[in-house]
Amino acid sequence: MTQIKKQETLLRSRSDGSFFLEEGLGVSSIFDSFLREAIALTHAELGGIFSTTESANIRQISGRNEKELVEAAHWAFSQSGKDLLLERGKTPPWAKVPSSFPLLVVRLKVDDLDSSLKTNRASYAVLVLQGKTTADRFSKTDFELLRTTCKTVGRLLKESHVSGDASLVTLSLLATTQLVLEAAQAKRQSERFDFLLTEVIRVSGLINSSLDLSQLLEAIMLSSKTVFRTEACSVLLLDESKEYLYFHTVLGEKSEAVTKMQVPVGKGVAGLVVRERKPMIINDAQNDDRVYKEVDKASQFTTRNIMAAPLVANDEVIGVIEAINTVDRETFTGEDLELFLSFSGTSALAIQKTGLLQNLENANKDLRKKVSELESLFELSQAVSLSTNRLGLVRKSIRLIIRELDASVAGIFLYSLTKENFINCAYYDGETEKIDRVQEEEISGTQVLSSIKEGLPVLKRDILDQPFPHELDRRYLKGSYIIVPLFLSSGEPYGALTVADRKDKLSYQDSDFRLLQTMASQFTKGFEAFRLRTEMLEKKAIQQEMEITRKIQQNILPSEKVFHSNFDLGIFSVPAKDVSGDFYDYYQYSDGQYSFLIADVSGKSLPAALFMAMSSSIIRTLARNHDLSPEEILRQGNELIFEDSHFGMFVTAFFIHYNPSLFTIEYASAGHNDQVWIKEDGSYELLKGQGPPLGVIPTAKYKGGNFTVKPGDIFVLYTDGAVEEKDAQGNEFGLERMIEEIKSRRHLPAQKIVEELYATIRKFSAGKEPFDDFTVLLLKYNNDFQFFRTFDANTAQIPIFREFIYDAIKVRNLPDFLRDDILLAGDEAATNIVIHGYKDTLLRNPKFDCKIRFTEDSITIVLTDSGKGFDRTNVKDPSIEENLSGKRKGGFGVYLIETLMDVVDYKMEEGRNILTLQKFFR
């Protein structure tokens, strides 16, 4: 029979009370395995486990015996030694220089086994790990895990034994079993924590879901009920008065009875939590006076224990969340409450977020409704302005009313304009339209007629049909309805608008009533306009102040400025409000002449803007016909504008033709201001015309005039806003002041003049809102040559040059032979400049200029170039015999020019050749 060797404990004590480990292969293998796992867990570079011998010398049990590791172990066994987590670059307690790698030191101590030992003599082993040089530190989690593991190893060592040769280590069954059970418990707790974490993450994610508040809170309560294993959960919210809490969401038995309860603030657990802003746990609810027993009585529910936390959003308590009656356990714990606070925070965020979204949705809904109402009012205003008869106004209006008020039935009731005691009834249900005429006696006693006669509007919110005795009321006033009486400006009733039976089966509210009243007001304006027209009263403008974008105005006006070499154009137009009644136009005809127009429409509203667009289109179309004189353009324009003029609208206008070849201006005026001709010597003349504004009467005669401008003259076209602005004392800016301001700036470009004039007027009015639209069109005549252009000196430009000459002279309607002489002479002169003048020169991009001046009986063409100097005396007259024989070259071009033109002059000034050609019209 084999004899079993006596076993000794693995952990031995010395006479001084310190401890050491028994040496042996079994011990080394255990710590080798432990070290490998520790290195793998922490991703350390290397490590070692050290202990002391019976003689208190440090020895290596496992791993590397590196200097840094041994020094760390010596320190750990010293009186000042302790567990250590050291970052790279920090100086260890035992060293004088920073470490180039992170270190981790954990002691295995007897005090892990016996808490009565408090000295470092309790340390019997040390684990030292050295991190990689690329790492900054070991994680704190790994550090704590290793400390826990060392405690576990200590427990095993306490009950471990070694055989006589220390090669076999025997573990205690009891200690092992305890560790297995603890591991199972830890695993169960870990799974519980994983479940709790999953629920917290899921609930947090609900905040960003599309659920409404009730669904969202119900989902949170369901999760809370599952996590905390309770019979019921609820959310209570403060009412608007902040005096009571009401149950918003309840999960559990008796929820229907509970939701009807209210809890006063300061009473019960929920009331106290709100008042004190602190969470609360009560584990003996039946014997605690803080519990609000009324809820249990009403719901016949017994509350055993309760956990509650405040709902706080933006530092304001908005309610309480509660968990009631634990399942499979007796009480709520502090850990429960700590986790429960995350649910309260999530619920508060959910309520806050949903409230914000709901407020945003309500705001967007209100905005959409207001936009829709404004669109409908705009459409109704258009119907008022554009409808050509009363029936058209009624049809357009009733369709807008039934659409905007979401009505199943709409009606318009109007007294007849021609027959007393007759009422026209317009019915529309979205599909069927019917207009009847009934006698007042036939509908006597109806709700509709009573409302008209008494002038009392009616708003019925009840959606149930009212048992009216009269068929008209039963037809027009179904379910919830509104009646709005219609009144003329004199206060006389003339009808009513009705809507009834909302399509969504909801009741009409005050906002619907106000909208129908507004639409009634708009309708009345249109109705009165037709009434006044029918009775042949004076035309009266229907002004509706509506904002119209400047883009519409700009599309009416010319987009590009016209240019000419002998005048400079400046134009500046600013509306007094959003839209302008002023408009202007300019156009260049194919023969080189120009037209300019300035006009002012009466009124400044949307109808005025439409009238302006129509008037501008008519006059611009007529003005494109160059065969029509200014007087004829205004005459025909008046007839066309009068046909489309409504509500007494009219337009004043001043129109001119300008012939740059003669410096002549032909003009006519349609009731417009006297325009200004400022002459070169500083004097000025007011240009008057005869004729009424356009659109006032069907036919009219217009008489204007004509005059000739000179270089240095300024012609000013303007509207009322340039002269009628007033200062703080009521003094008018005036025509004289405007003329002086322009004269003082005549040295400036035309555009600069008009811009500074406007700035001066605004300064004069001290920044007050403009009285009227401002428009000034200014023509500044700078040169006595009517035409000017620069050409590149190459042969490709010769045809373009010839076309320029042709366009300049065609307006004079010269005989063919004169026109051909001028064109041929000009063509030859330009060709000589291009071919001979710049020959053998080094100039880059050579050019030549052409200026043309007309008088009543002549044309003068001046060509200027920078080519070689030309000496006429060096050019002999051509000889047919010598040119043909080759003895002489050239001379024909010069001869041809001098033969065709009456005056030919050559000279050079400041290094430039100047050729002057003149032809008289005989």
Q: Torsions phi, psi of 652, nearest 5?
A: -95, 150
Give me the pLDDT at residue 262, please.
83
Weakest mean pLDDT among 158-167, 262-271, 726-735, 742-751: 158-167
Contact yes or no for 715/665 (Cβ under 8 A): yes
**Quick one: what percent of the chain has pLDDT higher than 90?**
26
Q: Which of 99, 106, 55, 108 is nearest to 84 (CA)?
A: 106
Six-digit token pair at 390? 């009363």
pLDDT-derived band at 883 (thresholds 50, 70, 90) equals low
- Segment 395-399 shows an average pLDDT of 81
Question: At 451, which amino acid appears?
Answer: S
| Residue 215 one-letter amino acid | Q
N-term to C-term CA, the chain: 161
Q: Read off the pLDDT band of 886 (50, 70, 90).
A: low
Residue with the bigger pLDDT between 1 and 568: it is: 568
pLDDT at 184: 64
Least confident window among 453-457, 596-600, 667-671: 453-457
Between CA 227 and CA 781 the distance in angstroms is 92
How far is CA 81 from its chain centroid?
66
The whole-number pLDDT of residue 4 equals 41
Q: Torsion angle, CA of 188/189/190/193, rounded to 10 degrees? A: 130
CB 88 within 8 A of CB 130: no
811 backbone dihedrals φ, ψ, rounded to 5°: -65, -20
Which three-class secondary structure state does DSSP give residue 914? strand
**Strands annotated E in 549-645:** 567-574, 582-588, 594-601
* Whole-angstrom distance, CA of residue 685 vs CA of residue 667: 14
In the beta sheet, which residues pair with residue 788? 851
As a whole number of angstroms, the distance between CA 408 and CA 429 comes to 5
Q: What is the pLDDT of residue 115?
A: 44
- Coil, helix or strand for 207? coil
pLDDT at residue 86 greater than cutoff 90: yes
pLDDT in tens, 696-740: 999 999 999 999 998 889 999 999 989 999 988 889 999 999 999
Please give the pLDDT value at position 539.
40
Highest-confidence segment of 461-475, 737-751, 767-781: 737-751
Determine the pLDDT at residue 420: 57
Buried b (16+ CB within 10 A) or exposed e, 245-274: bebbbbbbeebeebeebebebebbbbbbbb
Token pair of 96 as six digits: 């004088």
Q: Which domains does the chain have, with CATH numbers?
A: 8-171 (3.30.450.40), 194-358 (3.30.450.40), 387-534 (3.30.450.40), 550-781 (3.60.40.10), 787-920 (3.30.565.10)
* Structure-block tokens of residue 380: 């109704």
More confident residue, 365 or 13: 13
Q: Name the residue among 858, 856, 867 with its Cα closest to residue 906.
A: 867
Nearest to 900 by CA among 848, 823, 831: 823
Residue that the structure tokens 């509210």 belong to: 509
Nearest to 609 by CA among 572, 581, 647, 651: 581
637 close to 603: Cβ distance less than 8 angstroms? no
d(CA 388, CA 396): 12
Between the alpha carbon of residue 1 and those of residues 4, 6, 7, 167, 170, the distances in Å are 9, 15, 18, 21, 21
481-517 burial: b if 16+ Cβ within 10 Å, else e = bbbbbbbeeeeeebbbbbbbbbeeeeebeeebbebbe
Check if the beta carbon of residue 668 is closer than 8 Å to that of residue 660: no
pLDDT of residue 428: 76
**CB neighbourhood size of 177 (10 A):** 10
Q: Please report which confidence band the pLDDT of residue 113 belongs to, taking 50, 70 and 90 as the band edges.
A: very low
Task: Spell 73-104 as b/e; 16+ CB within 10 A means b.
Answer: bebbbeeebebbbbebeeebebeeeebebbbb
Highest mean pLDDT among 44-53, 217-226, 242-251, 883-892: 44-53
Res. 388 pLDDT band, cuts 50 70 90: low
Is the pLDDT at 392 greater than 80? The verdict is no
Separation between Cα atoms, residue 440 and residue 472, nearest integer Å = 12
Q: Which of 115-129, 379-393, 537-551, 753-767 shows the lowest per-residue confidence on average (mean pLDDT)? A: 537-551
* d(C-alpha 880, C-alpha 898), whole Å: 17
Question: Cα–Cα distance between 232 and 247 in angstroms, integer?
Answer: 13
Across 236-240, 413-417, 500-504, 850-854, least confident range: 413-417
Dihedral (Cα; 22, 26, 32, 37), 10-degree rounding: -110
Q: Which tens digits make up the pLDDT trace of 336-355?
A: 888 888 777 877 877 777 76
Amino acid found at 348: A
Categorize the per-residue pLDDT at 11 as very low, low, confident or very high, splitting at 50, 70 and 90.
confident
Lowest mean pLDDT: which of 2-6, 808-812, 837-841? 2-6
| Cβ neighbours for 744, distance < 8 A, ≥ 6 positions apart | none
In eight-state DSSP terms, residue 836 is: I
Select, from the ranges 75-79, 187-191, 748-752, 764-768, the one with the highest average predicted confidence (pLDDT): 748-752
CA distance 550 to 580: 9
pLDDT band at 681 (very low <50, low <70, confident <90, very high): very high
| Tokens (6 digits) for 400 | 């807008």
Instruction: Give the pair of three-digit tokens for residue 492.
Output: 């006389």
Return the exposure string of 447-462: e unless at least 16 CB atoms fall within 10 Å of the residue's CB, then b: bbbbbbeeeebbbbee
Q: What is the reported pLDDT for 348? A: 80
Look over the chain and give the mean of its residue pLDDT values, rounded to a whole number: 81
CA 65 to chain centre: 70
Mean pLDDT across 116-134: 75
| Strand (E) or helix (H) holding 790 | strand 787-792
pLDDT at 609 over 60: yes
pLDDT digits (tens, 9 = 90+) for 60-72: 888 988 889 999 9
As a whole number, mean pLDDT of residues 874-888 equals 63
- DSSP state at residue 564: B
Q: What whole-number distance in Å separates Cα of residue 456 and Cα of residue 298? A: 49
* Tokens 């920073």 sit on residue: 98
Give dist(CA 370, CA 358) in Å, integer. 18
- Residue 3 pLDDT greater than 50, yes or no: no
**Are 866 and 881 contacting, i.e. CB atoms less than 8 angstroms apart?**
no
The closest of 715, 631, 708 to 667, measured between CA atoms, is 631
Which of 430, 412, 416 shows the shortest CA–CA distance to 516?
A: 412
pLDDT at 742 over 90: yes
Among 294-298, 556-560, 829-833, the least confident range: 556-560
Quote the CA–CA distance of 853 and 516 in Å, as a whole number: 69
In angstroms, the CA 126 to CA 50 distance is: 5
